[in-house]
Structures are given as structure tokens and as C-alpha cells.
Structure 1
Amino acid sequence: MHNVIPQKLPQTLPQWLAYIEILHPSAIDLGLSRIAKVASALQVINFDAQVITVAGTNGKGTTCAFLEEILLQAGFKVGVYSSPHIQRYTERLRINKQELSDQAHCDAFSAIEKIRKETSLSYFEYATLGCLSLLKQAHCDYILLEVGLGGRLDATNVVESDASVITTIDIDHIDWLGSDREKIGFEKAGVFRANKPVICGEFDPPLSLQAHAQNLNCQIKYAGKDFSYQVTGKQWNWSGKQTLKDIRLPLLPVQNASTALAVIEALQVKVNPAVLKNAIENASLAGRLQKISTTSVCDVYLDVAHNPQSAGYLASQLRLIKAEKPEKCKVHAIVGMLADKDITGTFDQINTEIDFCNLVSLDCYRGLSADSLLENHQKSKNALTTPICFENVNLAYETVRNKVDSSDIIIIFGSFHTVSDFLNFSQG
């Protein structure tokens, strides 16, 4: 169904979300021509705030979380648009860390519906326009826009930004972005703006990205060259034009903390060093190595790692957690993934840290069955165990919960949908 115009507008947020899901023939439809027309009418292309667009394969959300924490503690009003959400649609927009009401989002959708006329918008385009409209009304000092997919053709790229950030570049979303790092790098670099700052947190940036920055005369800063970090034990130091020493290691990836600090320096935001350190040490984000309270006798963590690069980082964190546990500690993984991911490569990265693997089916768009996950797992390296398949995350957790020892770890990962399904089940 396509370009549906209801006789009566939806009234509630669930009704609106159901409506915008069927509005456009494709769930993912990259390109700026449709959204630009509506964005121009809504006047959400240019903002009075400083806009920072964050692209990358992994680390976008955590880089935004570090920047958000720093800028908030420095006394600024900060808006963040991110996706996807884990439990509530309203998670996609935060103003000073607060979600807005369902009604605010409904009002934004109503405004779009009156303006878009015959223009068909995808779910993500509609969501992006709604949140941009609310950000416009909020009169923030800083706006952080997390790119949804790629960069060049992503809906967020309709906004004129003051600075662009690249976190990491790895193979993901092959159907839309290409199958090699040079093609993917070019797509990510599409968020760059001529003569504006670019902060690249990727240690091995593709030549396509570097060339694009040079063509646009961007003021680009590269990780490992213009800024760097050194970890010693449980502390780390950061070096750019200035130096920060003896920062406690954060819960979130230190590479993304380093990138966030480089953004603050590039934009010449005046922040007290003590505030910088405190913000970095205390930044957190739902679904990123999130420890939660459950009915289990052992520790339970959630993580949205869903590709080889993020799985490699999760494996390194599990090793650190296990090092603090008794030697008999076992890791029980519950994994659900989407079909368009490098599933075998993801397992390759984390298999050595998993003692018991439980695979679950995801009942959602692009969701993969547990049996298909198993086929991918059987092709992977370093597996310590033969996985068990479950219909859903609820059944897997109830089974695992009755097997664990108090010194064990349960890690639920693989997709935003996996984490969402577990939270809905465990908190319901």
C-alpha cells in the first residue's frame, strides 16, 4: 500500500506508527528527493543550534551518548535523535535526556501529514521529519543526529550540519551500502559538508572517505594522527591539541569517548577538564553492555552487538567481566539476529567467550529463525559448544535461568529486536 491518505487522522501514537508503516511501498528506501521536499516546507533543513551528524558502522549511539553527557554537564541544552528504539518509539528523541510525550509526536506527525500532500514517505523518513520538527521547537544549543543507515542518502542528511563524525567503518548493510570498505566509506562520507569540521574515529579510513574530505576542503581530524588515546590498567589518557590524563575507563567503548573529545575540541567548546572527565566516566546508553535486574541468580547483560566489529568489542568486555569472576564462571549467550547481517563473522568474533549458546527466532521484518542461525553458527570458527534452538527469547531465558550458577553470566545480544523482546517479556 502506498501514499494512503486517511479520511480521519490517527489519534494515538500507536495508530500513527501503524499508519506510517504502510504509507510507503518499501521499509527502507534511501534517497533525499522525497524527504527534502517536505523538510523544506517544515523548515527543518537549517537550525539555529550547532548540528553534529554522527555516521559509522558501530559506535554512533555511544558517541552521541558521550557528547550528550559532556554538553549537558557543560550547561548546554542538548537534543539527540537516534534510532532504532528498543522499547518505546519516544526513545528516538531526547531533549536534555528526557523523552517527549506521545502527544508531542502525534502533533508533529499531524503537521507532516498536512504538508506532505502527494509525497510518499518511508517510516524512517516520517520519523526523522517528526523528530526534526520537535527539535526545531525545542531551541537547543546542540543537536546530535545519529544516521540511520549509511549517510549520503540517509534521511538525516537532509539537515545542514555544522560538523560531521565518522565512528567506525566495517562491512554491514551490504544490500544498500556495498560489499567493501571503499564503497561503504564513500556512503558514510556523504554526510560531510564543505569547509566544515569532520572528526574521523576510524583508525583505518578508506581512501574514498579521505578523498571526499579533501575534495570538500573539510577540516578533518583523524584518530591516531590528530588525536589519540592510551589505556593503562583501568585508566586512560587522551591527547589532541590538549591532553586529559587519568580518566577512569568508561562502561562504553573508549574509542568512542576519544572521538567525542575530539569533536568537543574541534568545535572549540569550552568545557572544564574536570567536567569532561566526569562526563566521560559516567556516560551510559541502554542496550550497550547494560546490566539489568532480573529473577536470575547470576548477572544478566544486554547488548545490541549485531556485526563482527561490535561482537569483537563485546567479546573483549566479556573477558574483562569474567576476569573479575570465580574461575568456574560460565557465559550463557542468548542470540537473535536479522537476516541481512554477517552472522557467521559475528559468531567468529565471540565464540571463544561463549560456553553455552542459545539461539532464538525473531518474529519481525528481516528476523531470522533459530534454525537459520544454527546453519550460520555451524560455519563459524572457535565454537565451544553446540547451540540449542528456541522459538523465542522468553523460552530461552526461562530455560537458561534454571541452569546457571550464581557466578555465571547471561548475555542477551544480536539485535535491537532481541533486546527489546527480552525487556518486554521480563518487565511485563
Structure 2
Amino acid sequence: MSINLGLERVASILHALKAPQKSFQVFHVAGTNGKGSVCAYLSSILHRSSLTTGRFTSPHFIHPRYSISINEKPVSRLLFDDAHRMVQSISQREAIDATSFELLTATALEIFYRKGIDVAVVEVGLGGRFDATNVDYKVGGVLGSIITRIGLDHQNFLGDTIGDITHQKTGIMRRNVPVTVYGDNEDAACKVILQDAAATKCPVTIVSPSLLRREVDERGMESLYLPTKSFGDINLSASPLNGSYQHMNLACAITALDLARPSLPTVTRSSIREGITRTKWPGRLQVLNASEFSGDDTQQLVLLDGAHNVQAATCLNEYVEDLRKESGTITWVMALSGNRDCKEIMSLLLRNSDRFYPASFGAVDGMPWVRPLERNELTRAAIDLLGSEELVFLVHGAAKDIIKDACKHNSPVVVCGSLYLVSDVLADLCGEYF
């Protein structure tokens, strides 16, 4: 089964489910990069605001049920399987022929109805306008739409230009529903966002980096603050997520909450502060220790990051450059999906003295069309970029075996290129990280 964008099939399933009229409200998040982090911040804050909170993000780690959480915990296998079977039976009985992502989306919403949640945080799967998550949430309504950073990705589905792709993202806009926009987007993206917002008649708030206030304490430590109407100045530097770009992702999440404040009286400055500090988002600049893979007391950094496109690789490189200043070299473990231009992404990350391990990932549950790029392609690109075969290492086995070997070089190990590779790594550690 392949990707097949459209809203009719998932709408038919939801109509057939005859969901109970326990209303919940929705934050809907689209973008190329950063939307998962925004969802993580939102759901953590909402949960700490005494609201029963559901979250649906993609792609999933390890198993599809990990894409659906209630109050910051993945739903149980029993609940997921029961809801998913119901959705599948409707699709088969009504000859709807829903895609796997449409089934997963309907499963998430069915679970949210069953658990009587107050607010759902929903991440767009692909694009926005014709994505399965862009259904009519009649039982509650949308509190806010958020559009994060937009870049070139999935051009075969969304269009060849930033403008075309942005137009697909803006499809989540709804009349009179406030839209929060990541303000550091390209001019072409901002132009389309403003045009489409005017046509949809929805208010737009652009979160510009210039809005952030910098403050340096007596120790020389710099903090960034976002001024808000409802909550005063919020310290963005309190985020536990790595990467300077997370400040803007968090600013977007808080701005959306600020705009929706009349409908969310339990969200307070205190609950925002607690929600920020408790936010978790695995696989994005996630720091582990080599001992997790070697079984001994090796003290060496292993960084997991799902950077899988040019924009994300650029952000990863910014973070890794600080590691490089201390260590001199980086050891890369990388896998990419088969539709990626590996050399374009690798050229942003690899430097002459680095080491490189080509990797792969296993079958993705529910998405048989997702396949890893052949290791020999990664190898050829790495040799070309590094200028030496001696800096490329071939290790057969699972990702954890490759990482274990990569740790012997006594330099930071960065595992990246695909969230599916990161998922395979976390699958061996899921008892601790999920």
C-alpha cells in the first residue's frame, strides 16, 4: 500500500464510528521540521495544566501505538489493538480501502473519544491540505493551527517549490481560528501563508526571533524570554531539548497557547514552566552514553537525531560543530530512506577527518513502501566526500552492533539520517526511554 492523499476515506471511517459526543478540542500542527517538537511542548504543558491530553504524532517509533499517547504515556497495546481492529473492520466492511496512515489516524481519534480527553495535539503526517489529520473535528473544534519551518521535502507529493509546499501546509487553516507561524521561514513561504490566511479569513501571528528578549545573568549565562499577553515573560532557555532551534519551536507552542487562553483557563504561567521542564522528545538530539551499547563503563557521547532532510541536517550540523571543537572528529552512523539524495545531506555533515559507518533499518510497521537506501550507495558517497576508503567502516549486523563498533574510535558518535534508524536503536532501549 502506498501514500494516497485525500480526506474522503478517513472521513467515511470517522462517520461510521459514530463517536460519542464527548467534545475535545485540537491543536493542529503542520510544517517540514519542528512540528513534532512543538507537539511535545504543547502536550506536556497541557497535561501539567490538569487537562486530559491526547497526542498523535508521526512517524512512529518501534510500533504504531507509540504515535498515540494519553497524558504523556503511549497507549496500551490492548487499547490500541482493539481500536485499530474496529477501524480496520469498518474500512473493509464499507469498502473504503483506507491507507495505513488513515487507519492509524482514525485509530488515534477513536482512542481519544474513548478516553474522554479534553485537548488533542495532532501532527500532520504529510503536507496538510489533503492529509488524513485534516478532518472536520465537529465534536470540539480547533483551538489553534501552527505552521513550523517549511523546507523542500516530499516534492513528489507536495510540489517542487517552497510556495507550492507551503500552500499544502496552509490547508490546515480554518476560518476564524488563530494561526501561529514560525517567523524565520523563507520570504516565499511567508508570502503564501499570509495570502492563504487572508483567503481563509483567519488571524495570523508570526513568531519572529526579534520578539525574543535576551538576558545575561551575573555568571554570564544567557537566557531567552518570550513576552506573552497572558503569561508574562516565559523563559525559553528552560527547555530540556537540545538545539538552539528549539527556542523558536517552544515560542510557537507558547504563542498558540497564549492565543487560545480564553478556552484554556487552567493553563497558567506555573503549568507552562513545569510543562516545559518535563518535555521529552526522543530521537531529536538525544544524548546517550556508549555504555548503553558496549555493556561496559565506557564514557562516550552517542547522539541520536532523526535529521532526514537538508533543513534538519543543517540544524544538526550547527549542534555537532560544538562537539567537533572539543573532539576534532565525529564518527557518523547513518541510514537514509531510499528516496533521499544522500550526498546532498552527507555533504552538510561530514568533514575530511570524520569516520563513517553506513547503516540500514528494518521494515517499518504499516509502511511497506519505506525502504532504506542501499549501504553501498552510502559507502560510495562517503568515500567521495571523505577522500579515503580507510575512513569508511562496514559492519554487518543490527544498528546497535554498528554503534558499538563506532564507539571504539574515542570520538563522539552521531546516529542520524532517518527516524526509522533512530527507532531501531531505541527499540533496544525502549524499557528506559519510553
Q: TM-score by structure 2 length?
A: 0.83
Partner of 1:399: 405
Post-superposition offset of 1:27: 2.3
Q: Percent identity?
A: 26
Contact residue 157 and residue 191 of structure 1 kept, 8 A: yes
Post-superposition offset of 1:64: 0.6
Flag the 1:350–1:249 CA change in 2: closer, same or farther, 3 A. farther
Contact residue 329 and residue 409 of structure 1 kept, 8 A: no
Q: Does 1:287 align with 2:272?
A: no
Partner of 1:264: 257
Query: Please, which runs of 5 or more residues in structure 2 have no aligned partner?
Result: 364-369
Contact residue 332 and residue 354 of structure 1 kept, 8 A: no
* Distance in 1, Cα, partners of 2:178 & 2:388: 44
Partner amino acid, structure 2, of 1:248: S
Partner secondary structure for residue 183 of structure 1: helix
Post-superposition offset of 1:194: 1.1
Flag the 1:309–1:303 CA change in 2: closer, same or farther, 3 A. same
Partner of 2:357: 358
Q: Does 1:237 align with 2:243?
A: no
Partner amino acid, structure 2, of 1:207: K
Partner secondary structure for residue 414 of structure 2: strand
Partner secondary structure for residue 348 of structure 2: helix
Q: Does 1:32 align with 2:20?
A: no
Range with greater deviation from structure 2 (66-75 or 235-244)? 235-244
- Given candidates 82, 85, 91, the residue that maps to 1:107 is 82
Q: Write the mapping of 1:388-427 to structure 2, written as runs, cut at 5 A.
A: 388-392=393-397, 393-401=399-407, 403-405=408-410, 408-424=411-427
Q: Write the mapping of 1:12-411 to structure 2, written as runs, cut at 5 A.
A: 26-43=1-18, 48-116=23-91, 117-160=94-137, 161-204=142-185, 205-224=189-208, 228=212, 230=214, 233-241=221-229, 243-244=232-233, 246-252=235-241, 253-268=246-261, 269-270=264-265, 271-293=267-289, 294-296=292-294, 297=298, 298-321=300-323, 327-328=326-327, 330-352=329-351, 355-364=354-363, 365-377=370-382, 386-392=391-397, 393-401=399-407, 403-405=408-410, 408-411=411-414
Post-superposition offset of 1:207: 2.2
Post-superposition offset of 1:249: 4.5
Range with greater deviation from structure 2 (380-389 or 248-257)? 380-389
Flag the 1:371–1:122 CA change in 2: closer, same or farther, 3 A. same
The one-character-per-residue Cα deviations of 1:353-386 (angstroms, maximum 9, x if unpaired) are: 9822222134543310122224445676999995
* Distance in 2, Cα, partners of 1:79 & 1:100: 10
Partner amino acid, structure 1, of 2:203: Q
Flag the 1:332–1:381 CA change in 2: closer, same or farther, 3 A. closer
* Distance in 2, Cα, partners of 1:58 & 1:172: 10
Flag the 1:382–1:156 CA change in 2: closer, same or farther, 3 A. farther
Partner amino acid, structure 2, of 1:55: A
* Distance in 2, Cα, partners of 1:354 & 1:130: 48
Contact residue 354 and residue 386 of structure 2 kept, 8 A: no
Contact residue 352 and residue 382 of structure 1 kept, 8 A: no
Post-superposition offset of 1:262: 0.6
Contact residue 39 and residue 158 of structure 1 kept, 8 A: no
Flag the 1:194–1:376 CA change in 2: closer, same or farther, 3 A. farther
Post-superposition offset of 1:119: 1.1
* Distance in 2, Cα, partners of 1:158 & 1:381: 47
Contact residue 20 and residue 113 of structure 2 kept, 8 A: no
Partner amino acid, structure 2, of 1:172: D
Contact residue 74 and residue 275 of structure 1 kept, 8 A: yes
Determine which structure has greater relative contact order: mean sequence separation of CA pairs < 8 Å that are 6+ residues apart, divided by chain length: 2
Partner secondary structure for residue 350 of structure 1: coil
Contact residue 5 and residue 132 of structure 2 kept, 8 A: yes
* Distance in 1, Cα, partners of 2:260 & 2:152: 30
Partner amino acid, structure 1, of 2:175: A
Contact residue 237 and residue 247 of structure 2 kept, 8 A: no
Partner of 1:5: none
Q: TM-score by structure 1 length?
A: 0.84
Post-superposition offset of 1:415: 0.8
* Distance in 1, Cα, partners of 2:193 & 2:361: 35
